[in-house]
Structure 1
């Protein structure tokens, strides 16, 4: 049983006049903010604003690094040379850290986004490139990602900390991987289902897969998607439900 769980959400996913997430409201419930660094979403003004809000709420700032894919929101499969990807990861971390430090905080961890997240779960070369980018940025930051991933293997080989995360609002397959978006059961939409999933993961380290199999997932951080309908209210309810179940909600970084 876990005594403490982190709640993370993707924030800063806007660009110019377009805003996808209610960052200010979500910062009242989460303990870690995965902030878009400009490659799949985000711009300097948005990054600065979210970092300032995170510092005000005592929320840890994480760099949500991505393939350079604004048009596809970072969700399109791409083949990027390892040296290029490492440089782009370091660039994104550095850009966000500037605004984090200006707000009186710092970048405390790194989490890949979208297609890069899924690619680094099973591709050792791309995973190693992300880790190389983190090291190039100059600080041994923890890598947030799925258990048993190539990303975590590469990070451990480079002596970087790893943090296992699970998803409160995504479907799981029997092998412990996420159901791909677009397939039945990929995204949970019912509030009661998400609440039960959150407590089960945080307190018991278990989740029920789409085929009914019980899967063991020992996670230190629980992800809530900030772009789903009703995300703000759902995040508040999840935190309340966890506390009621005897789980301490606190940042890992």
Structure 2
């Protein structure tokens, strides 16, 4: 048994490097890893290791399926956290959101609570965001909470100001973020931040999704698609707001002093 555990740990470490470095396994290496995993004959780690292998091979749907099977077999916080990391890097925003909520109901984990909190913000579910923020805050002292990048009070202030000026209800705000998510997931693009510009004197009220891409043509297509999507909903027409996607490098170069900034946390495999 110790030899099996050591071999499983070695496979896990090697595949994690591929995922962290975003290097893709070649066909031969992928099949070799699958054979090595099957040879362990350990059902407790098989699906987890296969999730890593399929992930490193670029087969996202298969990786997600094996992560889910693994958590059914073994209720393990490390596996749950690494599943969230994988979804954050390679899965859709919607899947990342739903999975983080499911896991936050199963584990008492600051990492999982924080991820659920941030995902709720990016989906417009502010009541849920408050719930998981408070779950997270109960596990830490005041000093550690003060160091948080996305403090609940600040986030609610920014979101509520945007909604008030735009005259959006809570459901309409969720609908807006739902359509934003549709476009992001369709193009397999992840957000790195959410920004709000509000200048009352100039009647400017804007939401900007900072996207992890430098492809200007893709961003232009995404913005056109988003505009057409939003135009389908009468409740969003003629409301006082603008929304668009922005390249991450443009966001980094921009002066943040005139905007509210909500970052999506950078998760690490652990």
Q: Give TM-score scaled by structure 1 length.
A: 0.29
Q: Give TM-score scaled by structure 2 length.
A: 0.28
- Return the structure number with greater relative CO, CA threshold 8 A, min gap 6: 1
As a proportion of its length, which structure holds more strand? 1
Higher-Rg member (1/2): 2
